[in-house]
């Protein structure tokens, strides 16, 4: 699996679709896999929603609930938009090969069919013309759509989700970032005002190498997006890509889901029978820090509400450590008081494998060069990853799963997500440096799921 697709909340269910090739553990003709959840924690797998046919492979896209029946598929129908990709034409060097199509569900998202009039938005000549995200037009009603086209984001409008009018192009101030993919555009409240956030995923030149997702804060009038900020990376780790938000999330929340891998080595990760996982869903907030807009992220409320079993609790002068733990699924919270120099947090096991993050004022360094199996790709752990925050980092939260570590710095601005492949779970956490610290290690308790449920590991 790779990109999250069709994120929509309807009738109490969060729907998660995703790029999927059911015949192998490497990328192939793309389908939309499908899962649902009531809490963004426990997931139930449903049948594949869309499969390739004569119209093409089914690349990334979005979904909305059409309460007013503007598309004519029925009141309250779920409508998906996706890129139709002619893989055979691309092999022959024929362009353009991508256009946009629709699918719909009349039973709350349990079963799906493609619209017989596809494509609804034909390619205007670009080699890459992909990943439509549908949203409500904030001014005149109806719908907007944003998609990636080469070095720009194209914005369209529609009254019925079928006929689309081109409104404008947005050019982020960026070059050399590879293929642009998976745009998103959503409103968010900040300081009593509504701002708009544009997400763009790019296949190259992320801060620590390879693919990554950036955000730009601005204003949107239903026709044009105007930036108020320079592009910022939404996650500084190696493994967070194609991130997009839910349509229709309760209480107007902005809930983000990202694919946890990197195109430098996604087809090589040493996971055997499966490849690909999503990071924990995250809730976003927009703050102004040091005169600049910053998106903050925290795990979604369903994860925060889980009961927890306390594994260890330490407080006092550094160094501190806790050993003999099962950290295959752990929530580690750390705060340091008056650090005098670098502070390092290290996860390790009895096989000598270790993952560490060092904070030295506003600079954080992540080292996974000895985290487990790292030899499958020279791009996986070429050296230390670096993050420069806007202020000294004194609080960390590490959410550890069987093969991932998600690090939230100082309340979730910024974040670093990384895959790890230890031969056995980490069993110890240690903190070294100067100063005093408080450390809490707990294990989230997941309720039982069906045999066919999706798990984050």
Pick from 335, 333, 284: nearest CA to 308: 333
pLDDT at 114: 98
d(CA 48, CA 194): 37
d(CA 236, CA 223): 31
> Strand 225-227 vs strand 232-233: parallel, antiparallel, or unpaired?
unpaired
Residue 119 has pLDDT above 80, yes or no: yes
Are the beta carbons of 411 and 386 closer than 8 angstroms? no
Mean pLDDT of 393-421: 94
Are the beta carbons of 134 and 64 closer than 8 angstroms? yes
Bond before 414 cis per omega within 30 degrees: yes
Query: Where does residue 22 rank: exposed (0-12), middle (13-18), buried (19+ CB within 10 A)?
Result: exposed
Sign of CA dihedral 359, 457, 349, 330: positive
Mean pLDDT of 98-104: 97
pLDDT digits (tens, 9 = 90+) for 312-337: 999 999 999 999 999 999 999 999 99
pLDDT at 453: 37
DSSP code string of 16-27: EEEEE-TT-SS-
What's the per-residue H, E or C state across 183-210? EEEEEEEECCEEEEEEEEEECCCCCCCC
Mean pLDDT of 400-406: 96
Q: Structure pTM?
A: 0.94
Q: What is the largest CA-CA distance in the chain?
A: 68
Q: Where are the beta strands (DSSP E) in 203-281?
A: 212-220, 225-227, 232-233, 241-245, 254-259
Q: Could you tell me what percent of the chain has a pLDDT over 90?
A: 84
**Averaged pLDDT score across all residues of the chain:** 93
Are the beta carbons of 216 and 172 closer than 8 angstroms? yes
Q: Tell me which of 2-11, 122-131, 416-425 is least confident.
A: 122-131
Q: Tell me which of 233-237, 253-257, 325-329, 446-450 is least confident.
A: 446-450
Reported as a pLDDT band with limits 50, 70 and 90, residue 95 is: low
Burial 221-247 (b: 16+ CB within 10 A, else e): ebeebebeeebbbbbbbbbbbbbbbbb
pLDDT digits (tens, 9 = 90+) for 340-396: 899 999 999 999 999 999 999 999 999 999 999 999 999 999 999 999 988 889 999
Helices (H), 305-388: none
Mean pLDDT of 215-221: 96
Burial 303-324 (b: 16+ CB within 10 A, else e): beebeeeebbebeeebebebee
Mind listing the domains of the chain with CATH numbers? 4-301 (2.115.10.20), 307-454 (2.60.120.560)
Contacts of 80 (CB under 8 A, 6+ apart): 5, 6, 17, 32, 49, 50, 61, 62, 63, 102, 103, 104, 105, 112
Could you say which DSSP state residue 247 is in? B
d(CA 354, CA 346): 7
Q: Which residues are catalytic?
A: 3
């Amino acid at each position: 699996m790779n990109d999250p697709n069709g994120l929509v909340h309807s009738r109490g269910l969060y729907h998660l679709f995703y790029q999927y090739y059911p015949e192998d553990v490497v990328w192939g003709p793309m389908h939309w896999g499908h899962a649902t959840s009531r809490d963004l924690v426990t997931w139930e797998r449903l049948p594949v929603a869309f499969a390739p046919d004569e119209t093409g492979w089914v690349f990334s896209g979005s979904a909305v609930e059409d309460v007013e029946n503007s598309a004519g598929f029925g009141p309250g129908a779920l409508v998906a938009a996706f890129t139709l990709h002619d893989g055979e034409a691309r092999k022959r060097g024929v362009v353009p090969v991508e256009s946009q199509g629709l699918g719909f569900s009349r039973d709350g998202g349990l079963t799906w069919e493609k619209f017989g009039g596809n494509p609804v938005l034909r390619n205007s000549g670009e080699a890459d013309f992909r990943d439509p995200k549908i949203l409500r037009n904030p001014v005149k009603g109806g719908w907007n759509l944003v998609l990636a086209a080469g070095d720009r984001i194209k914005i369209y409008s529609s009254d019925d989700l079928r006929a689309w009018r081109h409104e404008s192009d947005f050019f982020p101030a960026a070059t050399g970032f590879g293929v642009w993919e998976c745009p998103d555009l959503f409103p968010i409240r900040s300081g009593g005002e509504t701002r708009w956030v544009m997400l763009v995923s790019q296949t190259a030149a992320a801060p620590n190498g390879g693919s990554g997702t950036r955000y730009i804060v601005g204003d949107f009038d239903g026709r044009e997006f105007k930036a108020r900020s320079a592009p910022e990376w939404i996650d500084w780790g190696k493994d967070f890509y194609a991130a997009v938000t839910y349509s229709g999330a309760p209480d107007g929340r902005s809930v983000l889901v990202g694919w946890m891998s990197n195109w430098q080595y996604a087809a090589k990760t040493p996971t055997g029978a499966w490849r690909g996982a999503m990071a924990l869903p995250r809730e976003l907030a927009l703050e102004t820090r040091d005169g600049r807009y910053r998106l903050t992220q925290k795990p979604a409320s369903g994860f925060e509400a889980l009961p927890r079993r306390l594994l260890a609790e330490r407080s006092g002068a550094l160094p501190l450590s806790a050993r003999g733990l099962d950290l295959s699924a752990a929530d580690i919270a750390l705060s340091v008081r008056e650090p005098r120099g670098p502070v390092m947090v290290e996860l390790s096991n009895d096989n000598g494998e270790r993952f560490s993050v060092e904070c030295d004022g506003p600079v954080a360094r992540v080292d996974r060069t000895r985290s487990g199996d790292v030899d499958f790709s020279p791009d996986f752990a070429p050296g230390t990853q670096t993050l420069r925050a806007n202020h000294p980092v004194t609080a960390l939260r590490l959410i550890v799963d069987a093969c991932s570590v998600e690090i939230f710095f100082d309340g979730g601005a910024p974040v670093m997500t990384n895959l790890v492949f230890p031969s056995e779970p980490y069993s110890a956490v240690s903190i070294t440096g100067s100063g005093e610290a408080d450390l809490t290690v707990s294990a989230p308790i997941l309720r039982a799921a069906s045999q066919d449920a999706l798990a984050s590991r």
